[in-house]
Amino acid sequence: MMTQQHPPLDGLLVADFSRILAGPYATMLLADLGAQVVKVEGPSGDDTRTWMPPVRDGVSTYYLGINRNKRSIALDLKDPDDRAAAQELARRADVMIENFKPAGLARFGLDYDTVAAGNERVVYASITGFGAGAGADLPGYDLMVQAISGLMSLTGDADGPAYRAGISVFDVMTGMHAVIGILSALHHRDRTGRGQQVQVNLLSSALSGLVNHSGGYVASGTVPYRMGNAHPSLFPYEPLPVADGELIVIAGNDGQFRRLCQVLGLPGLPEDPRFGRNQDRTANREQLRPLLVDRLRERTRDEWFRELTAAGVPCAPINTIDGGFGLAEELGLNPVVTTGGVPGVRNPITFSETPARYELPPPGLDEHGEEIRAWLRN
């Protein structure tokens, strides 16, 4: 009989002094993987507790979505006793994570240098909007970074206004970068016995996350522009009209384009010198698009989805979020987990030996305060 394995980060203590999104998302990922996360909140609680609607049983779903598997303690860092408790928590922690303004915790004796002086093994992760240098005083809101980084200049119709992404994409990305940095620093600590500070910021994550666009600018000086749903380097790679709406159709290589043309009954198109190679299709997209659309309009998106998928041509309906969850269920991905009666999204990482855990629902403010204070006094 197989015994239940402990999750991979079992036994790791994380002192979570972060709030809003990037930090709490990072610490939830760590908590799912077994870390013991103590969420330190001010007396009024994490801001996202008040970000509503939507709500579940009167609690913000924004807060619920990124705070499971944690214990909450409310500490007023201006109060000497609460400040001492926070400092003791930092002294015991394997990992401390915070997203105050740079140097914002120094007056409370919770900055990296002070914490590391009493806990040389600590991995201390700092999340900022624009780094700890000249951008230290800029507030780090995702929408600001979407604007400043150039993402909004790429989002929307070519002749329309700029749009933000539908989620706080750089908060999420920076949270994941924080986790990568923390795990790397823990590996270094395993070898050397020494902790270190890990710093991530939204703007750097954004510029990295713009991938082909930022890479194209750095390598060739090319400044990209809005193209709606089109791709600057591939065609087709966008929604195309069908009988009952639109379908995402992708030809990521010449083989996929040939298969697309076979399904559409257009076997001669790949032999046309305007369309044979990807760079040709991209350059002549305005000539190719109506030829594809003329055939695609003959059938519905569900019909094309089944036939194109069977032929190995990437395509997708444009769903609302319920459709995304529905497909994930059909595919056996089991996207929803329930933790203490509160449904949430499954951690996206699957382990063959050490599964993620779903034990504690998102905590109420100071729900575990008495328990944690007693532990810190011992």
Rounded Cα distance between 88 and 108, Å, is: 12
For 135, other C-beta atoms within 10 Å of its C-beta total 16
Rounded Cα distance between 140 and 50, Å, is: 19
Smallest Cα–Cα separation from 293: which of 273, 271, 269, 272?
A: 269
Residue type, 53: P
Rounded Cα distance between 215 and 227, Å, is: 18
The torsion of the CA quartet 249, 251, 252, 255, rounded to 10 degrees, works out to 150
For residue 27, how far is the Cα from the chain centroid? 12
In sequence order, what are the beta bridge partners of 15? 38, 96
Q: Are 149 and 223 in contact (CB under 8 A)?
A: no
Report CA-CA distances (Å) from 148 to 130, 153, 162, 170, 171.
11, 9, 12, 12, 14
Structure tokens at 328: 């994930």
Q: Are 165 and 151 in contact (CB under 8 A)?
A: yes
Catalytic residue among 171, 190, 294, 302: 171
Q: Are 251 and 275 in contact (CB under 8 A)?
A: no
Positive or negative torsion for Cα 306, 308, 309, 315:
negative
Contacts of 50 (CB under 8 A, 6+ apart): 60
Residue type, 90: A
Positive or negative torsion for Cα 162, 168, 169, 171:
positive
Report CA-CA distances (Å) from 270 to 108, 233, 257, 281, 311.
67, 18, 7, 10, 16
Is 81 annotated in the active site? no
Contacts of 361 (CB under 8 A, 6+ apart): 68, 339, 340, 341, 342
- The runs of H, that is alpha helices, within 10-79 are 22-32, 61-64
Structure tokens at 19: 């709030």
Please list the active-site residues. 171
